[in-house]
Chains A and B, each alone.
Chain A
């Protein structure tokens, strides 16, 4: 395969992005094409079918299932209230009654004369979809949702936890190598997207969640702290639904690792502006990476510079970062790309490259273990 290296994550100061905002079930779209929206604006809504409560009426009343229809006081499709009697039997000339009451408010969905089971469907559950970003509605998917587009600065993280939120950017460290600790977090971080440097401590995350910060964007994070914070060991990288009161986005990886200078500078230059962030990560087929979107007003119909999306192959002079031991996290420039396979210390044969690190030293690294940085 021609491309053995991991392509770097997108970090760009200007890009036109479009977000599809889709309902889980068909419903109603409540905005029009061309409408300007803000992150908390509701763009579509629907009702999920209510929960189902099965009730074995035949068992409760001590009837054979085929006789259940005679005992039912409510028919299929009829509305019932919690506690209402839905079936009754009488015996001994009406002296003794057995009754069956509804456990929930809703409707009778079905009555089975085979099993004697009655299914009660609860009241519909309202569901709404918000715009998530500042932008313009560019497409309507009838009864399903909308597409919202905006020009923005865009940063993809490598891993995150927590879902969609937004807040103004607040950079609390002087540079990309400083560790974000609890000392930097105060009440002024409430509602903000806090930016740190090379790492965030468990104490800082806890404090940020306590003061009500919207999120944290940082270079690295210790796995042990992640475990302590979540309360469990994260086995599979499918995140986004954690209910931890804060969204965390790691831009570089686990452990202490400087946030890429370009990423840090971009966030610093946007301090005070609104960032819409989502920690949802899925590292399987159909990869989803966490994201930071910093929208700004511009004509969404203007043409996008095609160069933005093009991914170029590795070449001599490409800036790279090593993403595995023994040089994990080091930055450098490709100085040679020999075509032949080379035997590594581990004994494996792999396609390699030669990289010159910032301190001038050179090393051989498998191509699979670097990612290209955007120059």
Chain B
């Protein structure tokens, strides 16, 4: 396809080839703004009997053609470019997670330092990290070799040592990899790609050790000095190799690669890119979560120094709502799941229901009881995934910190989490259980209960999971990607106001005075253990309405400006509205079963999460 000037692009066709479904979207520039026109989908055709991903792509594009009336495929079934009136598209782009996505193994010298930096680089590039090998991972060398031999990753990222430091340890790891002689997952006709991103002084010995056995690529050190990570070059190399080796081995991808106008990206890598792009453009802190059938991805951008955003992504490989639902249950345990359910269910029956969902992953909840139970599991999956994210998204470990006497009272450890729920501006949810919740109020409650935002936080969900396509689009036409993200991709739910601080006794938590745009003023006091919904919607263009608010935390609680300090801010609305959460942070559900059920019902009714009748059962 001919390359096009970004300013001349008016019509965009984008697909995301998932492991089960291929999703296509059509974006057009109309009246000076980019908007989503239609969306189509079809089963992915990577596996037998088709074994050609392009068939699924053409089927999904065919549906877009039918729905939009725009002719996109010629008589030979090829995508028509560029646009000529109501025919063709200016560019075609795609992401992919079909065939299990990108599966990597990473290795480093110290688990919490270079190995963790390597893990961050791989995750940020959209990979599933199968294992992390490090000199101090408590496994004996022969156990590490056995593990490497059995993994069969798509590629390995090897790091270790700062530039100019000792070379022995990283060469030792290279020797282990060489002894294991790992084979690539797809096809045996090529050598396994290994990226070396460690101490530059060890480059030659590593080449000597590994050069003949693997396809070795060298990039600048991901940890040139202890105080700084340099993940960019390693991530770029991962994307290159993903295209060159992994994608090229998957059925039909060679053909698909010739169709696209930008390199095909791994789906999670593209989602991370759009979240980072949006956070950087607005200069805000953002957390995004994508809860799928098998895995849950969490993305975050935080600005600990107030300026540069630090991006992190984690994948919780076995937390999901269908294939992995049983594992959520096993990890969270039954009482943790059931604490979100305002009625009682038999354990034996519940266990069987969960397993039946696992073995028949495409079924959907028909009854309200099933929906409430499924959303309770989702809260636990999200909560567990976020705990993993918080422990991974940290400031660099192993860095010496200079302390003054003032710091003696507020000691911050090396490796402290970057996640700060008080400064977080927006929380975006994605994935079937959030995007397709029958009531948007349910999505808002799931996000609040699982993530426990503090202070003032905007809430949104991805309407039809088009973040992957927008991520890759942002590399070609940033304006189109951000316009569609804000207008069509995000469904603004509203915002959550939650005073932070431990509360043990009943009583007032916060005074509020909220001036709504229609002239009405909501004035009141939020009591401990209370939730309140104040409607504030969207304007005629779908943009969230805003309300001026004066919020005064009581009893030493905090809303972001320090304990007990009043804040004046603007609250944003959405399809749900403003949610005042007086349950305290840290948040503890009542231990007494009767009170817990009563409170759950009270909150669910106030936030209009479920109909009253559904909550009446015992």
Contact = CB atoms under 8 A, between A and B. Distances in A.
Nearest to B48: A286
A52 B145 contact: yes
Given A285-B98, A324-B363, A368-B362, A54 B175 contact: yes
Interface stretch (A131-139, A203-211, A344-352): A344-352
A366 B363 CA distance: 8
A6 B351 contact: no
Interface stretch (A75-83, A92-100, A112-120, A179-187): A112-120
A369 interface: yes
Interface stretch (A36-44, A232-240, A271-279): A232-240
A235 B367 contact: no
Contact of B363 (A121, A158, A255, A323): A323
Given A52-B180, A235-B330, A345-B366, A285 B359 contact: no
A110 B175 contact: yes
B318 A253 contact: no
Majority DSSP secondary structure for residues of A touching B = loop
B19 A325 contact: no
Contacts of A237: 323, 326, 358-359
Interface string B205-219: 100110000000000
A358 interface: no
Majority DSSP secondary structure for residues of B touching A = helix
B245 to A, nearest CB: 19
Contacts of A119: 175, 179
Nearest to A226: B355
Contacts of B361: 283
Interface in B199-247: 205, 208-209
A269 interface: no
The residue in A117, A235, A323 that gathers the most chain B C-beta atoms within 10 A of its C-beta is: A235
Given A237-B326, A348-B365, A222 B20 contact: no
B356 A328 contact: yes
Contact of B365 (A235, A236, A346): A346
Contact of A235 (B43, B327, B360): B327
Interface string A340-373: 0000111111100000000000000110110100
Contacts of A124: none
Given A52-B179, A254-B356, A324-B370, A6 B436 contact: no
B176 interface: yes
Contacts of A345: 366-368
The residue in B209, B318, B363 that gathers the most chain A C-beta atoms within 10 A of its C-beta is: B363
Contacts of B176: 54
A336 interface: no
B352 interface: yes
B598 interface: no
B168 A65 contact: yes
Nearest to B180: A52
A256 B357 CA distance: 15
A236 B359 contact: no
A368 B359 contact: no
B276 to A, nearest CB: 27
A202 to B, nearest CB: 12
Interface string B281-308: 0000000000000100000000000000
The residue in B348, B355, B439 that gathers the most chain A C-beta atoms within 10 A of its C-beta is: B355
Question: Shortest 10 CB-CB distances between A and B: which pairs?
Answer: A347-B438, A235-B327, A346-B371, A255-B352, A233-B330, A223-B351, A254-B352, A254-B355, A54-B141, A285-B19
